[in-house]
């Protein structure tokens, strides 16, 4: 549970509206990962890592992309640098529980968990993000400065691969200690400087751009369109100006375009696939598949079933009240009587045997869980 956060008040007054500092959101918070482990991850090629250095010389900000050789960490200066590790929840299942604390926001909006380690005075520079973020102070103290005034396009550093604000004026500032958390809506300028060596976890939210949505939907939709569907004008009248494209034509074109977006069930199917798409799906391959009876025994024995956060699972309710389930970009075939188990699977990342017991008398339900397990979308946590 996040302490000192009234969810109703937060959603009504802060979410996508204004920053909120939550003191002791996670009282006595202890990071499940050490700075050394973070540095170790930065040497691996399966994870995205970056180092940002602040220099006295020009360019003031320098970006290095991982994976790094171990020796890079012994040659770094004592201060003014930071290490960023993206998608930490994908390698440390411990973070799934932390991500789940944000389940008052629909799971499809959650992106991933990024960790930063800062040496004293280390930062990524003043900047804006295009998505909402919760910044949880995991270790040590960091001073956060923010400014809610929109940043002018000409107020960004030039000729560097980072979008850093040239002139940043702090409007409000706080020192965050372990367990404190700062919520920032998209586009609020922020600048967080390590007061000593410290660690911060960013829980980021995805906000698909109009361009992404439109191009994905249209790409998929056009493959279904018959080439015989063509612009027609049997009502053509003699034109005064043969060189003009008339407003009647534009109205027809607009109607034609709009009509391509009128099928809601098509939009649902596409969006379910689009929003659950996960690029490294083969990470979830299972080596030893189980029969339903083996699966049931294992479930009884372990007492816990977990959906890792690398599995993006969402359901949609259709007009006839039937449910569609999408996992990592694929629509799943569903047998009758599986609606409730599908909802539970999508809504809760961790289920105990007791949570599931009442569902297990139904063969289709057990088949569903076993099949999902065999596809690698569920696991017994002790594995």
Among Co ion, ligand SIN, none, what does residue 192 contact (CB within 5–8 Å per kind)?
ligand SIN
Quick one: 63 or 290, whose CB is closer to ligand SIN?
63
Give the CB-nearest residue to Co ion: 129
CB of residue 96 to ligand SIN, shortest distance in Å: 20
CB of residue 226 to ligand SIN, shortest distance in Å: 47
Rounded Cα distance between 265 and 270, Å, is 9
Q: Write each residue from 202 to 221 as x if it is in contact with ligand SIN (CB under 6 A), else as -, in one continuous string.
A: x-------------------
Rounded Cα distance between 206 and 259, Å, is 28
Among ligand SIN, Co ion, none, what does residue 200 contact (CB within 5–8 Å per kind)?
ligand SIN
Residue with tokens 């994870």: 47
Task: Count the residues of the shown chain that bind ligand SIN, applying the rule CB under 6 A.
Answer: 9
User: Should residue 133 be labelled a site residue for ligand SIN when binding is judged by CB under 6 A?
Assistant: yes
Task: Count the residues of the shown chain that bind Co ion, applying the rule CB under 5 A.
Answer: 1
Mention every residue, 6+ apart, whose C-beta is less than 8 A from residue 190: 126, 127, 128, 144, 145, 146, 147, 184
> Strand pairing partners for 117?
83, 199
Which residue intervals of the chain are DSSP H helices? 7-13, 35-41, 94-100, 210-222, 247-259, 264-276, 292-302, 339-347, 353-357, 363-374
User: Should residue 200 be labelled a site residue for ligand SIN when binding is judged by CB under 6 A?
Assistant: yes
Of the candidates 206, 207, 208, 204, the one whose C-alpha atom is nearest the C-alpha of residue 89 is: 204
User: Quick one: DSSP state of residue 306?
Assistant: E
Give the CB-nearest residue to ligand SIN: 116
Among ligand SIN, Co ion, none, what does residue 189 contact (CB within 5–8 Å per kind)?
none
User: Should residue 367 be labelled a site residue for Co ion when binding is judged by CB under 5 A?
Assistant: no
Residue 240: C-alpha distances to residues 70, 101, 237, 244 (Å): 76, 66, 9, 9
CB of residue 5 to ligand SIN, shortest distance in Å: 19
Q: Which of 31, 49, 107, 116 binds ligand SIN (CB under 6 A)?
A: 116
Q: Residues 312, 277: contact at Cβ < 8 Å?
A: yes
Q: Which of 38, 41, 113, 124 binds ligand SIN (CB under 6 A)?
A: 124
Q: Residues 94, 30: contact at Cβ < 8 Å?
A: no
Q: Which of 31, 49, 82, 147 binds ligand SIN (CB under 6 A)?
A: 82
Neighbours of 95 (CB within 10 A): 21
Whole-angstrom Cα Rg for the chain: 25
Quick one: 183 or 345, whose CB is closer to ligand SIN?
183
Q: Which of 129, 148, 277, 283 binds Co ion (CB under 5 A)?
A: 129
CB of residue 273 to Co ion, shortest distance in Å: 29
Q: Which residues bind ligand SIN (CB under 6 A)?
A: 82, 116, 124, 129, 133, 190, 192, 200, 202
Q: Which residues bind Co ion (CB under 5 A)?
A: 129
């Amino acid at each position: 549970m996040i302490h000192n956060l009234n969810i109703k008040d937060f959603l009504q007054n802060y979410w996508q509206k204004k920053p909120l500092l939550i003191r002791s959101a996670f009282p006595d918070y202890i990071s499940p990962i050490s700075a050394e482990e973070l540095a170790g991850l930065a040497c691996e090629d399966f994870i995205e890592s970056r180092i940002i250095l602040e220099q006295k010389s020009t360019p003031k900000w320098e970006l290095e992309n991982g994976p790094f050789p171990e020796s890079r960490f012994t040659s770094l200066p004592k201060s003014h640098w930071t290490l960023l590790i993206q998608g930490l929840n994908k390698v440390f299942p411990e973070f799934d529980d932390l991500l789940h604390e944000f389940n008052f926001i629909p799971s499809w909006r959650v992106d991933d968990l990024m960790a930063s380690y800062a040496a004293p005075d280390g930062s990524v520079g003043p900047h804006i993000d295009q998505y909402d973020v919760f910044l949880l102070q995991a270790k040590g103290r960091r001073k956060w400065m923010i400014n809610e005034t929109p940043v002018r396009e000409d107020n960004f550093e030039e000729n560097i691969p980072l979008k850093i604000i040239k002139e940043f004026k702090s409007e409000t500032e706080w020192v965050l200690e372990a367990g404190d958390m700062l919520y920032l809506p998209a586009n609020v300028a922020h600048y967080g400087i390590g007061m000593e060596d410290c660690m911060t976890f960013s829980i980021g939210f995805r906000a698909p751009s109009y361009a992404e949505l439109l191009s994905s939907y249209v790409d998929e939709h056009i493959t279904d369109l018959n080439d015989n569907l063509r612009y027609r004008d049997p009502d053509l009248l003699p034109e005064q100006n043969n060189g003009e494209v008339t407003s009647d034509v534009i109205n027809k074109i607009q109607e034609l375009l709009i009509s391509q977006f009128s099928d809601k069930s098509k939009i649902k199917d596409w969006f379910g696939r689009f929003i659950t798409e996960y690029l490294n799906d083969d990470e979830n391959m299972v080596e030893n598949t189980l029969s339903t009876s083996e699966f049931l025994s294992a479930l009884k024995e372990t007492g816990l079933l977990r959906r890792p956060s690398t599995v993006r699972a969402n359901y949609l309710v259709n007009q006839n009240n039937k449910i569609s389930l999408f996992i990592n970009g694929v629509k799943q075939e569903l047998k009758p009587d599986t609606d409730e188990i599908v909802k539970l699977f999508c809504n809760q990342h961790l289920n105990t045997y007791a949570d599931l017991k009442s569902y297990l008398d139904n063969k289709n339900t057990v088949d569903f869980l076993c099949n999902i397990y065999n596809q690698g979308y569920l696991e017994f946590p002790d594995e």
